[in-house]
Chains A and B, each alone.
Chain A
């Protein structure tokens, strides 16, 4: 009797589980749950903590949090260091993203063509993305070093500069900003290229064929057919890049630490120096999340445009 009950129960449980797998309204959330949990634990909770810190008086060695409202924001926003960092953040993010989108388009178009050694080019292209960023940036530190710069050694060897005329890539404000933007572009280019490449390959071939038959020039073809068709994915690439550029500090921390004289200091690095090096976690958090409303608005607008541009 007991055996019979067991036999009847087992398929019933199996049927229940099978029922869940058969229902898309259950299966979807179930499959996405690990990712959601991961994001909540790794991104969501620290973000909420940062929000809370920014309106508190917490410091590095303190665990009690007194609520101070917007005091940290009101205190830090008028400072010249913050203003400079804010300005640098916009220059850094916008210039780097314009370059990334232009270069990624060119590379993606090139990689769409068939040529010998294409897989090697793809591999090389992906290297900056797969290598740890701190390691890659340390390589750049050597390339841009004031004594051992391989660029300057080469230029000098070819007689293009003299020994005492070496450009100090990290020592002049414009060169330093140019350097950190270059390294940031080098780092983000692979991701943008892969995203745009995916968009390009998804365009049906007959559309290109029709344009060719109609005699569209390369530029007309590209800007009036290809770009509008990949606009949603282009906007996603741009959104990723902008969020990275506005919130990341690794390149600047390794190369300049905000120098020379704060001309490459961005909000992310200022937040680190204030909160971790300086010990004022609350003010560091306030600096770090200052741009959050703006980024949220940008993300909302971009995703909305992307959704509207989707070809159905």
Chain B
């Protein structure tokens, strides 16, 4: 460089170009950045039981939605076991996702979530009213707030072995709980296949026990949210479960986790379970379709009072108050719900719409599924919106109901009696005392 000189003009040219490149370079080189920074939307979904759903949602739906709405959408998927802990961490840090998906109603997070009243209203204008189950799972009548929005739920039908029930004279499966007890015992005696209703500390047991309770006219609470567990109906339901266990089941049901009943029925071991259609979908994907042909679905079973089933999974989206893109999250939800038909098909009918009109051809779709054996296997779910209900029926899914559910109070009550470790009266007294304490706590906190 020695001997080289730079005159003033060259210096200005060089430094000017440098300044331009530094200050405006990015805009010149990347046209997309010449406008205001793109909006972002961060979504947390739990890993779906049907992998095809995540594939569609993550790689297709959100990408297209992001392009249409000039928003960069990112989706994080976590296992269901970590949902509550993750939500607690986000609340604690006051930072995280704009949209957060729970797989059950999250009433205890109410104070941290945006009221979804306007989102429900906007969707209602486009596709009509939501079903009662959605409202009961996302609304707090005490505070008059929609703490979440539920686009869909998963039915929890009876999965039974057609070959086994045909042998005992019920080719279309049982219709009442008494038939399960009597015919289940017959099958167990004749073929060695027990009934598989869980009695463990896990969510499928929690759902199954409530299904039985509600069918017997027994409830944790009444419509107004008053504790009503201690009743003759609950006692009768407990006695029934004890008899059902003794006559039709084995100790295996005390060991189960949430996926055990799937394995038990798909492996051919049990004659009947209550579960979502993930069971039949798993069977359809086996190399040998024989078991898929045998596992059929039936509607909610009738007890002494009514035939009623629980939701198996309640998809509940919340928008945190500290979310960075609240408007974007609301817009996403409105669009997602109004386009729910795509989700219904991508999820292989696992998630049923909470806004009925979003899937106008639902009956037609489920009546003819080429993957199913036979193709109309899922037709039995055509009136599921009429018999599926929420945890806490006939009241709302409140924070107290959620804690009773999450700490397995009712699971333990039924299991202890079934195993002969407590009398029905003693187990009910113990559960009632636990529920009373939990109700009291949440009343004091002002959420119930």
Contact = CB atoms under 8 A, between A and B. Distances in A.
B108 A59 contact: yes
Contacts of A262: 201, 408, 412
A171 B260 CA distance: 13
A172 B444 CA distance: 38
Nearest to B427: A261
Contacts of B109: 60-61, 279
B413 to A, nearest CB: 9
B200 A257 contact: yes
Nearest to A263: B421
Interface residues of A, number: 40
Interface in A73-122: 75, 79-81
Contacts of B264: 146-147
Interface stretch (A20-28, A162-170, A231-239): A162-170
Counting chain B residues whose Cβ lies within 8 A of the other chain, the interface size class is 35 or more
Consensus secondary structure, chain B interface? helix
A278 interface: yes
A172 to B, nearest CB: 6
A168 to B, nearest CB: 4
A144 B438 CA distance: 34
Interface stretch (B82-90, B115-123, B286-294, B356-364): B82-90
A170 B254 contact: yes
Contact of A281 (B88, B412, B421): B88
A174 B85 CA distance: 31
B12 interface: no
A61 B110 contact: yes
B371 to A, nearest CB: 25
Interface string B245-280: 000001111111100100110010100000000000
A294 B295 CA distance: 54
B87 A60 contact: yes
A147 B430 CA distance: 32
A262 B407 CA distance: 10
A279 B402 contact: yes
A273 B406 contact: yes
A170 B254 CA distance: 7
Contact of A59 (B94, B113, B200, B399): B399
A276 B81 CA distance: 11
A257 B412 CA distance: 12
Contacts of B412: 81, 261-262
Interface in B407-448: 407-408, 411-412, 415-416, 419, 421, 430, 433-434, 437-438, 441, 444-445, 447
| Residue in A61, A145, A146, A169 whose Cβ sees the most chain B Cβ within 10 Å | A61
B91 interface: yes
A277 interface: yes
A258 interface: yes
Contact of B255 (A63, A169, A278): A169
Contact of A261 (B84, B254, B263, B399): B254
A294 to B, nearest CB: 24
Given A75-B441, A277-B406, A259 B415 contact: yes
21 contacts: A57-B445, A61-B91, A79-B433, A81-B434, A146-B252, A168-B255, A169-B255, A171-B252, A172-B254, A257-B201, A257-B408, A259-B200, A259-B201, A260-B419, A261-B254, A261-B412, A262-B408, A273-B406, A273-B407, A274-B407, A277-B407
